Amino acid sequence: MKNIIIAILTLLLCALAVRADKMSDYRAFADTVRADVFAEVPPGFDVKDIPAKYSGESAVVKAVYENINAKKKTGMGVGVGIVGLPSITRRARVEFGHLMRMLIHVNDKAALEKYSEFAFDTDDKRTFYKSYEKNRHTIGVRLIKPDGRIVDIDTSDFVEVEEGKKGDEKSRKLAVPGLEVGDDIDVFFFTETKLQNIHPDPVDFVLKAEAPILNYNIHCEIDDNLTTQYRTLNGAPDFTVGRDADNNYILDLELKDIAAKEPRLWYNSLQQSPRIMMRIFNRRNSESFTPKSAKKDGLQQNPDVNTMLEDRWDIDDAWLDKGAGYGLYYYGAFKDERKLTKALNKLAKDGTISQRQMADYIYNLLAYAYIGNRYSFDILDFAKAYKDFTKMFGVKMEAGLSSCDWHEPLDQLLNHKHNIYFMRLDGDTARYYFPPTGNPLIIAPGEISPHMQGREAVMWAKKKERKQSPLQFFTIPVTGTDANRNVTTLDVTVDNTMLGIRRSEAYRGSTKRSSSSLISLEDADKGYSSWLNRYGLNPVIKEKKKETADREERYADGRKEQVEAFKTEIESYHGSAPAEFIDGRITDIGIDPDQPDLCYDTEYRMDGYVKRAGANLLISVGKLLSEQIELLPTDRDRKDDLYIGNPREYLTVINLVVPDGYEVNAKSLEALKTSVKGKDASFDVEAEEGSGKITVTVVKQYLSPTVAIADWPEFAKVVDAANAWNSSVLAFERL
């Protein structure tokens, strides 16, 4: 027994010693990095003065310095030899360091709060069979006081946080001591990464921020035995490239006075802010996927897009050519798959429905399987299944590739994961079947999500054909206002000082985005089931009795949540909560390709919109138009083009019943009429009286996917007109 106790104590002491070693090792690492980083004065970090034009900024970034260091390493390990015996094998390793250092002038309390607290994990480790990724993170902070005094923040000011059962998951927090408005904060974040058989994460340099940047410097030192690919996007300047004595690639970039900040409105940072995407590979890696384009050491500056596309084709040629082997039975989503397959085959063979109708039907069938929560959604899986199913039922489809607007355009592709497959009927260049991407989740077959409209694309061709001639890029169509329209109809009655409102909404195309969250699981299930009940088919989701009961109980929860969602929608529409919510229901989930409108009705009462003026009434009719964007002074001072996405139209028809015993004042009716037209947007209001009611028709249009900054003043006039109309009043005089 005594021996056991001694053994346990010895083990415990060893464990404590190892733990203490790890802690002291980390502290030594953090102290060394801190000393090394602060020993340097990178370009721009000696800036003392801030240009007067930035005196009104909350924070000014005096300098940013990013440093990437990547070294190829080779390790050894024990693997399985040719006859099953242990053998020594090679491990592809990379040592990777990423430093981000910033010197920020803190000009107000908002900036003080923003830059006064930091939290980070000290280390993390992931290990797999022959692979690992070990990260160590540290930060360093020092303050430069207005009198030039430098205050180093000691690591003793960091708070150690332990998580996990034994407290072995470490992180650190820092509330920066001594930081005051008027100080400069010099802060760096450094991550040291050791990788075995794993490639480094992609790096994205974004050369614009929410504060002005006076100096931005990037320095990369990358082993020439690694593969480095980078792409400059949105007007980002290129690196200057050199080699050092060890043949490492040296990439440098210096930018000065990045004044323009990312605007609050109509701006897509990923498509507009200058950025450089970079990927680094160790091609010797045997465990992780290495794209074909990366299988040669060296630097690839803005690599040829066809080469990068081959990375994607290389992965997908097989299923694009021969199919992924999906069948309805394999898919297992529906009851009586064989019967359903047979019926669909019959439809395909006897020509009862057209190729397009079959393509539409299969699209919704597949979407039903996913959206009914039967599978976790994956856009690549959807594309593969869609291709297989359409082929199975005789639909001639061709596959193409594009990218969403949160990734680089396809003709500037760098990352083979940044793309999305679509299908189109052979020779039909007007209709594209994209997998639903989530916003909105539910779309009609052939509807093109706003994130894909106007994006570059290519159609897939067999390898042999690709070799003969490069693929031709084309642009996914940008649909017009007809395809991206929101029609709002309000029937309004006056009840003392309340307005009774019945509002119907129909959203199509890109306008669906804001409303799709109202659709409950029950609406989606019933909508798909109802639409798919055609051509003599009636697909039913396969589920056990218990699952059916479970789903129906969930419907009850969904209905309750939907009431709250409708209340939120009403508050968002008018800018104030309803006095009374009466009803709200989805009438069409918008999956019929011939009538793709997402429709719902809602009924409620609003107060505060009827004002007594002696014997007369004033109605705040402007509040019956959805809340319009109000431009702030900082929005008006704009330097960037506007990213609208795609043209769209908002049509609002207000039918206001003239209250008994009153007549409308003609002057106030006339005053509602407005027309502001520009090249890229318009706002029109017509108003008329007839059949005991006032009908006001409001049309707001965005006519272009983008607006040049030169046209911003004209565009802003339209926005202002719409906003001003929100306070319009209609007078009714007592008879």
Partner 1 sequence: MHTMARLLVSLGAAVLLSLSVFGKTPDDNVVVSKALDEYVFIAGKDGAEVRHSRKREYTATRHSASVKPHIFYNDRIRLDKASGGKMQYRDVNSPAVFHDDSKVCFFSLYLKAKDKKGTAEFRRTFLDAAHFTGVFVEDEYPVEEGTITFRIPPSMPDIYLVEENFPEQGIERSNGMDGDGWRVITYTISNLGKMPDDDSAPSALSSRPYISVRGYFTDIEAFYRYHAPLLAVDTALTEMPVDIGGADRPEIIERIYSFVQKKIRYVAYEEGEAAFRPDTPAETMRKRYGDCKSMSLLLSTLLNRAGIEAYIAIVGTNSIPWRIADNLSLASADHMICVVPDSDGYLFLDPTHVQISSRHIPSWLSGKDALVVVDGGFRMIDIPDVSPEESADVAEYCYVLSDGMLAGRAKRAATEDFAERLASALDAVPVQHRSAFLAKNLVPATRADIPVDSVSLAADIPGKICIEAPIVNTSAVIALDDVVYLDLNTTGDPFSSRIDISDRREDYKLPVSGRVVRRISVEIPEQHTVILPENFETSGPSVNLSCMFSQDGNTVTMTKTMELAGGIIALGDIPEWNKALAEWTDACNRQIEIK
Q: According to the binding rule CB under 8 A, does residue 165 interact with partner 1?
A: yes
Q: Which of 665, 627, 692, 626 is nearest to 494 (CA)?
A: 692
Q: Give 102-157 as a DSSP string.
A: EEEEE-SHHHHHHTSEEEEESEEEEE-SS-EEEEEEEEEEEEE-TTS-EEE--GGG
Q: By CB under 8 A, name the one of 560, 639, 673, 734 that touches partner 1.
A: 560
Q: Give 524-554 as a DSSP string.
A: HHHHHHHHH--TT----B---HHHHHHHHHH
- 663: buried, middle or exposed (CB in 10 Å: 19+, 13-18, 0-12)? middle
Q: According to the binding rule CB under 8 A, does residue 731 interact with partner 1?
A: yes
Q: According to the binding rule CB under 8 A, does residue 163 interact with partner 1?
A: yes
Q: According to the binding rule CB under 8 A, does residue 161 interact with partner 1?
A: yes
Q: By CB under 8 A, name the one of 146, 178, 235, 242 that touches partner 1.
A: 178
Q: Which residues are CB-contacts of 256 (< 8 A; sequence separation ≥ 6)?
A: 44, 214, 215, 216
Q: According to the binding rule CB under 8 A, does residue 724 interact with partner 1?
A: yes
Q: How far apart are CA 184 and CA 136, in angstroms?
A: 26
Q: According to the binding rule CB under 8 A, does residue 321 interact with partner 1?
A: no
Q: According to the binding rule CB under 8 A, does residue 164 interact with partner 1?
A: yes
Residue 300's alpha-carbon distances to 254, 296, 307, 573, in angstroms, are 20, 10, 11, 50
Smallest gap from residue 543 Cβ to partner 1 (A): 12
Within residues 12-71, the interface with partner 1 by CB under 8 A covers 56-59
Q: By CB under 8 A, name the one of 21, 31, 152, 180 that touches partner 1.
A: 180
Q: According to the binding rule CB under 8 A, does residue 613 interact with partner 1?
A: yes
Q: Which two tokens stand for residue 445?
A: 């077959």
- Give the total of residues touching partner 1 (CB under 8 A): 63
Smallest gap from residue 138 Cβ to partner 1 (A): 18
Of 429 and 497, which has the nearer Cβ to partner 1? 497
Q: Which residues are CB-contacts of 210 (< 8 A; sequence separation ≥ 6)?
A: 261, 262
Q: By CB under 8 A, name the one of 204, 553, 583, 688 that touches partner 1.
A: 553
Of 296 and 612, which has the nearer Cβ to partner 1? 612
Q: How far apart are CA 403 and CA 415, in angstroms?
A: 11
User: What backbone phi and psi angles, to 5 degrees, belong to 59?
Assistant: -145, 145
Coil vs helix vs strand at 233: strand
Smallest gap from residue 255 Cβ to partner 1 (A): 22
Q: Residue 396 carries which side chain, given as an amino acid letter?
A: K
Q: Which two tokens stand for residue 328?
A: 């309805």
Q: According to the binding rule CB under 8 A, does residue 209 interact with partner 1?
A: no
Give the containing element (helix H, strand E) for 442: none
Q: Which of 312, 292, 289, 285 is nearest to 229 (CA)?
A: 292
Of 212 and 454, which has the nearer Cβ to partner 1? 212
Q: By CB under 8 A, name the one of 15, 540, 556, 708 that touches partner 1.
A: 556
Determine the number of helices (DSSP H) and then strands (DSSP E) in the chain. Answer: 14, 34
Smallest gap from residue 448 Cβ to partner 1 (A): 36
Torsion, Cα of 335, 340, 341, 344 (10° steps): -150
Q: By CB under 8 A, name the one of 77, 608, 661, 713 that touches partner 1.
A: 608
Smallest gap from residue 697 Cβ to partner 1 (A): 22
Q: According to the binding rule CB under 8 A, does residue 727 interact with partner 1?
A: yes
Q: According to the binding rule CB under 8 A, does residue 546 interact with partner 1?
A: yes
Q: According to the binding rule CB under 8 A, does residue 616 interact with partner 1?
A: yes
Q: How many CB atoms lie within 10 A of CB 489?
A: 15
Smallest gap from residue 552 Cβ to partner 1 (A): 8
Smallest gap from residue 735 Cβ to partner 1 (A): 14
Q: According to the binding rule CB under 8 A, does residue 579 interact with partner 1?
A: yes
User: With the C-alpha atoms ordered 456, 460, 463, 465, is the resulting torsion angle positive or negative?
Assistant: negative
Q: By CB under 8 A, name the one of 557, 568, 708, 709 that touches partner 1.
A: 557
Which span sits near partner 1 by CB under 8 A: 154-162, 267-275, 305-313, 321-329? Answer: 154-162
Q: According to the binding rule CB under 8 A, does residue 629 interact with partner 1?
A: no
Of 175 and 540, which has the nearer Cβ to partner 1? 175
Q: By CB under 8 A, name the one of 27, 342, 349, 612 that touches partner 1.
A: 612
Task: Say how many CA atoms lie within 13 Å of 586 toward its Cβ.
Answer: 26
Q: Where are the alpha helices (DSSP H) in 411-489?
A: 463-468
Q: According to the binding rule CB under 8 A, does residue 354 interact with partner 1?
A: no
Angle at which helix 379-392 crosses helix 337-350, to 10 degrees, equals: 60
Of 149 and 667, which has the nearer Cβ to partner 1? 667
Q: According to the binding rule CB under 8 A, does residue 177 interact with partner 1?
A: yes
Give the containing element (helix H, strand E) for 591: none
Q: How far apart are CA 376 and CA 370, in angstroms?
A: 7
Which span sits near partner 1 by CB under 8 A: 10-18, 286-294, 555-563, 681-689? Answer: 555-563
Full 3-state SS string of 658-695: CCCCEEECHHHHHHCCEEEECCCEEEEEEEEEECCEEE
Of 106 and 333, which has the nearer Cβ to partner 1? 106
Beta bridge partners of 538: none
Q: According to the binding rule CB under 8 A, does residue 549 interact with partner 1?
A: yes
Q: By CB under 8 A, name the one of 317, 607, 663, 684 that touches partner 1.
A: 607
Per-residue contact flags (x/-) with partner 1 for residues 69 to 98, judged by CB under 8 A: ------------------------------
Within residues 103-122, the interface with partner 1 by CB under 8 A covers 107-113, 116-117
Smallest gap from residue 496 Cβ to partner 1 (A): 9
CB 651 within 8 A of CB 606: no
Of 86 and 614, which has the nearer Cβ to partner 1? 614
Which span sits near partner 1 by CB under 8 A: 235-243, 304-312, 665-673, 682-690? Answer: 665-673
Q: Contact positions toward partner 1, by CB under 8 A?
A: 56-59, 107-113, 116-117, 157, 159, 161, 163-165, 173, 175, 177-180, 497, 546, 549-551, 553-554, 556-557, 560, 567, 576-577, 579, 581, 607-608, 610-614, 616, 618, 630, 632-634, 665, 667-668, 723-724, 726-727, 729, 731, 733
